[in-house]
Structure 1
């Protein structure tokens, strides 16, 4: 579904369903391949200044003939029958979709000609950004997290086509060489290398993967290594949505994970570590790729159990602290206000493209502050069935200002600004030296 945001004539906003008008309602092969869509990402894959749309497809499925994989169990507490879900291994994989923005409010399916349909998987999460900017490369690549299948890394070839290279790049499977139930995903530098790393969540009794970027489209899953702090804490959790944010403004990106099982029947097994509802997790980054779980100190919500699915960040009250929104299965959504006390400083950047796409998706931002270089990307997609706010909130650590800001726009333009005072937001327009202040 595609909804257009419009004024309602009363000073507010409303949404209009334009799915059919935009050309997204019917896909030519849905009759043979019913499309079970999951996550999506807006990106400008051909750098024409218009945002295109990538849609994850999960499995081939016929709900009218859904298999009964486990029969039913009776909940002793309620006396009700509970039907167990079928594992993804009972269904065939399928291909994702890429729609090109025609610039007139419509989209054209270019999945086949772009090389997206060359592989089939069970896609649950997607993130789009430039994963190799060496030699000033400025193209948006696509990483897809697949459930029980190899992940995909679609390398943008710059001619409207992609090449799938996850296996040779080292991010298709876990460090043990196993296909895992990859679900949520996010990407950006988790170390001081400045290269965007990839973090993807997995099923219970599987370790989430931290694919460290070694450069030139080479990745190494280091999550299970001693010292990362991401291995054992994630083992007993069934992990879905995830996102990076700098909780304490120290300049390093931390990790949030939404957890929750897919089967109610696990509660009938009597294992306290294997439950339907599970607490969310927060991992604090020391800036060197080592993490410490601080969930118990993160507030009451992180001590409660929920059926977590999506998670996204936004600074809804513009106080300079990224807040969190959780979307839970069978429960109300939850908005958490960030009340962290920190001595560190921050700066917020909103990008506005002119020759590039309006939202600056695909841009690389480098902030220089007190002898540190902090790199962030304006990404498309991320997490699981979620979307975070587009503004970049960057922790400056002890620095009170950004001495210099460099932006490499998708158009190829390199723009330099600064110094800019910390503790406030700025709107930066592509090719315009004057910076607007904002919330």
Structure 2
């Protein structure tokens, strides 16, 4: 019999019915399903953020003052509101089916018994996208018209468990294991439940069900379309009214009953009864068949319970059973199916839920924690922030920078650096990344330094292998580091498994321009792009991505910035600290709003088996609240809908998908491990942007890892745009000091063509300078060993300015009424920074680079113009600015030979001359990462700097990649020693970590007059900004040819001494075994 034959009235009605379904279904999706997806996402990210654990009106650990009745009623009414349109649609479709598609007095053979009926039932189900309760009227209508039990069960299960929306959401939110468990269970229920129930009910031949069918009556009446339409609508109204009266009230009652049951889910219930065991599976499966939830809302329910500690196994059970059926489903089907069939149906759902959860128990060793939407619980506390000033020295201030130029230098002859051309690099040389990091390390252990540069999405990270002749080959593809979905940022190389080869941790960051914080990402591709990566060095030139196995669901995807490693508890294994900024889309705007959040930082404790435990919060280093003060020093707070207050963080600020932006902590740019108190363990310093400098003293014991926040105690709770760290013993007193980069004094300088915006509360340091704790100047801190404190020497040290390109902050250029910066405080913006003895004269030198907004020849490039600064160390802690002479300006296309050759002896170039040869900040690049290491093995330390890609004016506004510069040191005649440490862990599994990270090395020498001097350095993994220096320690020796003694204090506590070591060589010191 043809489905459509317009020679009779029935087939005309069927045509009208098909048209009505095609009209009503898209309308329903527009009015309900697309909006419901938004609601689902809000529920999911609210749950993931752990700010109330609420699901469609039900809050685990919610308002403690609310009564059971009020919580029950709130949940039930919200449930009815959510399912109302779905129910209306179901009744409409049911009416259309009975009055138009299969009119009265005619049964249907479309949904026949057997596999064909199951397939037809399932094919229709996903297009309906109705929950297990909403599908009931349609299922009943089809069953009344003679459809087989098998086909209507397939229709019910397919609509609720295998609809297109649920499949997408499940694989977006849950781990692949948990997602596949749900999909497989749904498929089993669609294709096997019907046949099993049918045979249990009617026996093997199903004659009883077939015999109940109404005999078809042939109706050949040939009414007009109008008459068929009138008759059909009359039947539609009667049938719909009847269905509503029969099914509507009990659906409401059952909804309230399910709402009551779900109220007994509490944090205590979850901990006691929903663990990752068989008992938890049985209970979860039972809960699932006792409740009805709207379509897809089982997903945020399971996310909520997972975040509160429910095991993955019961989550697998609940994710299936809650979607499959509940009291409304079973009661409604009881109207058209035998009661025992409904009993079998409910039992099969319950049993399959148990089987699904049980499977998860056996898979638990290989499964993640189930969800990708993890977040750290926020730290909320009343601020007792005090306005303590940092320690200052009572000594003579240096002179202000004058506009009168002169050439003066103190015995500063040296060979300049040479910037390698792109002909030195074989392979890709383009970097498309706003925050590219650089790591210098010997990845293949062939005794020369290779380097990694991180790249943006759609572009491979770049791993350059050293060819030994000042050329490098990009081997990222062969090495397995070419993931083009990855949007990388900072990186670090540390040997996590002590096999003697450095592994790579690379941070990921949010996508530019999507308007979404990480909580708004909706599909696996997006998560893959921003998730950090941990690559294991396979010792054969290749790396293996072990991120998921190493971190499970605790991996980081919160817009990582810098990454560092150290052994925080001296157990012989390197731990990892990851700083998180905020998605790039919200970074700049937050500088000008009093809400200035970042994301929580993470501390990964190495378990010693290539897995890590995330312990930042319990260890005290997740990140304190943002400090946001009025100029009078009073806190600026925001409150959430519950009245809870946050300083400097507005929880109501949303991204494009209406999700909260950030966490109640500051945005972190960089971090460094640094044993500042010289007690043998690694302390932690964190550079927070638009927030205070965070110093965490390591107070760990054998029983507990814990860091105490001591910024205020040290008088260093200073607020600035802190960005990069360099630690070194700048004054050679055998304890290390620290340099921290900041935005510089740019806002104090008069600039033509740049309007000075009104100062408003926000993350910009120029606002914080309105109160006594704020500063935009760099921070140069000298460690006071005797008093456990630091002295701020930033504006106390003398710097011989460059006659070629002096700092902009000269007296005449400072705005009226602005404070004139002095010393190091007069120098420009910085991100990456490093200290090293570039000329091997035994005195540490400093180089930094960095800019923000844009490169000099692009939009915003004149706001923070900086082309890098090289300060050569002089005796008595003074410096000379040799940036131009050293030829390390962060500028492309400078011909230094012509620049200097066309100057007369002692001639001072004017601005016009500098512009001609591009020796001017107008042409600065947008510097970010910086690292040092001896790339060519000549004993003189080289530099690599990275720059942001971005727009540049070239007639039109075009995007251009960010250049990276490899500056090779020009060398000299001074002596040196290069020391590599090998910890005992890589030898026999005892003692210190393989690379000796955290070890302190002291070299003792005597000059020709028998005057003794000692230098010291500490081995560290990760510093500067987004970057890492070589772990080899390079000491300049001047004219000393013999080192009297080398002393190594290993993290294990062993002290090792070597004597009478010749200079000008590389040595590898292996830790002693006792």
With structure 1 as the length reference, what TM-score do the two structures score? 0.83
Deviations 1:224-254 (A, max 9, x none): 1242669556646221000111001111111
Find 1:367's aligned residue among 963, 985, 1003.
1003
Counterparts in 2 of 1:309-388, with a 5 A limit? 309-330=928-949, 331-341=962-972, 343-354=973-984, 355-370=991-1006, 371-388=1012-1029
Q: In the alignment, is the contact (CA less than 8 A) between 1:233 and 1:293 conserved in 2?
A: no
CA contact (8 A) 1:189 1:195 kept: yes
User: Is 1:164 equivalent to 2:709 in the alignment?
Assistant: yes
User: In structure 2, the residue corresponding to 1:117 is in which secondary structure?
Assistant: coil
Aligned partners of 2:857 and 2:700: how far apart in 1?
47
User: Are residues 400 and 167 of structure 1, via their aligned partners in 2, closer, same or farther at CA, if it must alter by over 3 Å?
Assistant: same
Does residue 1:213 correspond to 2:779, yes or no?
A: no
SS in structure 2 of the partner of residue 297 of structure 1: helix
CA–CA distance in 1 between the matches of 2:588 and 2:828? 25
1:290, CA displacement in angstroms?
1.5
Q: Match of 1:401?
A: 1042
Alignment partners' CA distance in 1, 2:826 and 2:744:
6
Which one of 424, 427, 430 corresponds to residue 1065 of structure 2? 424
Question: Is the Cα contact below 8 Å between 1:142 and 1:154 reproduced in 2?
Answer: yes
Q: Verify the 8 A CA contact 1:310 1:385 in the aligned structure 2.
A: yes
> What pairs up with 1:169-188 in 2 under 5 angstroms?
169-173=714-718, 179-188=719-728
Asked if 2 retains the 8 angstrom alpha-carbon contact of 1:195 and 1:213, the reply is: yes
Structure 1 partner of 2:566? 43
Aligned twin of 1:288: 876
- Paired with 1:67 and 1:404, the residues of 2 have a C-alpha distance of 49
Q: How many Å apart are 1:91 and its aligned residue?
A: 3.0
Please show how residues 117-266 of structure 1 align to structure 2 within 5 Å: 117=622, 119=624, 120-133=665-678, 137-159=679-701, 160-173=705-718, 179-205=719-745, 206-215=776-785, 216-227=787-798, 231=822, 235=826, 237-263=828-854
Max Rg structure: 2
1:16 Cα deviation after fit:
2.2
RCO (CA 8 Å, sep 6+): is it higher in 1 or 2? 1
Secondary structure, aligned partner of 1:285: strand
Spell out, residue by residue over 1:59-106, the C-alpha distance to the aligned partner (whole angstroms, 9 max, x if none).
4x595xx5995xxxxxxxxxxxxxxx9658553144321110011111
Describe the shift of the 1:158–1:281 C-alpha distance in structure 2 as closer, same or farther (beyond 3 A). same
Whether the 8 Å contact between 2:1003 and 2:1046 is mirrored in structure 1 is yes
Please report how far the alpha carbon of residue 17 of structure 1 lies from its aligned counterpart in structure 2 after TM superposition: 1.9
Count of residues paired in the alignment: 394
Contact 1:267 / 1:276 at 8 angstroms: preserved in 2? no
Kindly state the Cα deviation for residue 220 of structure 1 after the two structures are TM-superposed.
1.6
- 1:306 lines up with 2:925 in the alignment: yes
Asked whether the 8 Å contact 1:43–1:362 carries over to 2, the reply is yes
8 Å CA contact retained: 2:577, 2:602 = yes
Contact 2:565/2:576, CA 8 A, preserved across alignment: yes
- 1:14 to 1:372, Cα distance in 2 relative to 1, 3 A: same
Q: Secondary structure at the match of 1:23?
A: helix
SS across alignment from 1:187: strand
Q: Does 1:92 align with 2:601?
A: no
Whose strand proportion is higher, 1 or 2?
1
Change over 3 Å in CA distance of 1:87–1:380 after alignment to 2:
farther
Which residue of 1 is the match for residue 551 of structure 2?
Answer: 23
Which piece of structure 1 moves more, 232-241 or 287-296?
A: 232-241
Alignment of 1:98-109 (within 5 A): 98-109=603-614
Q: Is the 8 A contact 1:157 1:163 kept in 2?
A: yes
| Counterpart-to-counterpart distance in 2, 1:345 and 1:298 | 20
Q: In the alignment, is the contact (CA less than 8 A) between 2:797 and 2:877 conserved in 1?
A: no
Q: In 2, are the aligned partners of 1:170 and 1:220 still within 8 Å (CA)?
A: no
Distance 2:574 2:823 in 1: 39
CA contact (8 A) 1:253 1:287 kept: no
Measure how far apart 1:288 and its partner are: 2.9
Structure 1 unmatched runs, 5+: 70-84, 174-178, 434-439
- Aligned residue for 1:410, secondary structure, equals coil
- What is the Cα deviation at residue 361 of structure 1? 0.8
Q: Deviations over 1:159-212 (max 9, x none)?
A: 121111012213332xxxxx1101010112100211110100001323211011
Write the distance in 2 (CA, Å) between the matches of 1:201 and 1:122.
15
- Answer whether contact 1:39 1:125 (CA < 8 A) is retained: yes
- Whether the 8 Å contact between 2:828 and 2:865 is mirrored in structure 1 is no
Q: 1:102 to 1:265 in 2, by over 3 A?
A: same
**Per the alignment, in what secondary structure is the counterpart of residue 720 of structure 2?**
coil
Instruction: Give the direction of change, closer, same or farther, for the CA distance of 1:89–1:316 in structure 2 (3 Å limit).
Output: farther
Q: Tell me the distance in 2 between the aligned counterparts of 1:116 and 1:24.
A: 21
CA drift at 1:158? 3.1
Cα separation, 1, equivalents of 2:1055 and 2:539: 35
Distance 2:569 2:587 in 1: 41
Q: CA deviation at 1:403?
A: 0.6
What RMSD, in angstroms, separates the aligned Cα atoms of the two structures?
2.6
Residue 130 of structure 1 contacts residue 141 of structure 1 at CA under 8 Å; is this kept in 2? Answer: yes
TM-score for the superposition, normalised by structure 2: 0.35
1:336/1:68 CA distance change after superposition, 3 Å: closer
Residues 335, 268 of structure 1: alpha-carbon distance in 2 compared, 3 angstrom cutoff: closer
Q: Which runs of 5+ in 2 are unaligned?
A: 1-532, 625-664, 746-775, 802-821, 891-918, 950-961, 985-990, 1007-1011
Does the 8 Å CA contact 1:223/1:229 hold for their aligned counterparts?
no
1:126/1:368 Cα in 2 relative to 1: closer, same or farther (>3 Å)? same
| CA offsets 1:32-54 (integer angstroms, 9 cap, x no match) | xx722100111000000000001
